[in-house]
Amino acid sequence: MLYDVTRTLTPCTAVFPGDTPVTITPTAQMRAGGSCNVTAITMSAHAGTHVDAPRHYSDDGAGIEAVPLDVLIGPARVISLGMAGAITTADLQRALRPARPATDAGYAPLPARLLIHTCASDIADDVWDAGFAWFTPEAADWLGVHGLRLIGTDAPSVDPANSKDLPAHKAFLRHGVIIVENLCLRDVPDDDYELIALPLKIADNDAGPARVVLRR
C-alpha cells in the first residue's frame, strides 16, 4: 500500500508570508496552435512539500543535490501528536514510548526516520496558518542524540513561524538530521513504513521540492 504524503502544488499553494508564490505559466499550448503543451514554473524552493538542505541555514552546508539518498529512502515511523505549539522532548518520549519500550539506557534506539503528524495535516494546501507545531531545540537535540537521520513534519517549519535564528533547524543540523517539511499525513495511520522522499537535484541549493511517499 502506498500513501502519497505530498502536498499538491498549485498557484494557490500557501507559502511563508513574503516568500515567492507558485506561478505556473503556459509557454506553449496545443489549443493555441502549439505542437505540445509546455509550462514555465516559478516558486520558492520551500513551497509545498520539500526537503531542506543544510545550505538553508549554513553557508557552508551541503546543497540539496548532496543530501545522501540513503537518508531519504528507508524505514520511517509516523507518530501523531495532534498538537500545535512547542513539541518538547517529553511529548516525543510519550509518543514513542508505546512502540519503543524503555531500556536500561533510557529508550531503545529510535527509528532513523520520524514523521510527526499534527493538526497541520488538516489545513488546506492554500491556507497559511502560523499556529503550527514546532520543535524545541532540546527536543531536536534529543532526537539527534538518539540517532535520528531524518525528521519530517506536516508543518511549514520545525521552528516557530516568527523565528529568525532557527534554533531547531540548527540543532537538527548539528546532528546531521535532514528535515522534510509541509507533508500531508492526513489519513495515514501511525505505524512503521518505508519512506521515499526524493527532492529535485538542484545544484548548491538550499532545498528541493519533493514527492514523498510512504510504502507499507
> Which residues are catalytic, by number?
56
Question: DSSP label at 77?
Answer: E
146 binds Zn ion (CB under 5 A): no
Residue placing its CB nearer to Zn ion in the complex, 52 or 154: 52
The 10 Å Cβ neighbour count of residue 21 is: 13
Residue placing its CB nearer to Zn ion in the complex, 7 or 46: 46
One residue of 91, 154, 159, 181 binding Zn ion per CB under 5 A: 181
> By C-alpha distance, which of 67, 79, 84 is closest to 197?
67
Whole-Å CA distances, 170 to 55, 125, 141: 11, 27, 10
Residue placing its CB nearer to Zn ion in the complex, 141 or 181: 181
CB of 169: closest distance to Zn ion in angstroms?
8
> By C-alpha distance, which of 154, 91, 160, 166 is closest to 131?
160
Binders of Zn ion among residues 93 to 122 (CB under 5 A) are none
46 binds Zn ion (CB under 5 A): yes
52 binds Zn ion (CB under 5 A): yes
| Interface segment toward Zn ion; rule CB under 5 A; list 40-48, 57-65, 77-85, 139-147 | 40-48
Which residue has its beta carbon closest to Zn ion? 46
Interhelix angle 89-96/137-145, rounded to 10 degrees, is 50
Q: What would the grid cell of residue 78 be?
A: 509516523
91 binds Zn ion (CB under 5 A): no
Residue placing its CB nearer to Zn ion in the complex, 36 or 127: 127
| 158 within 8 A of 134, measured Cβ to Cβ | yes
Interface residues toward Zn ion, by CB under 5 A = 46, 52, 181
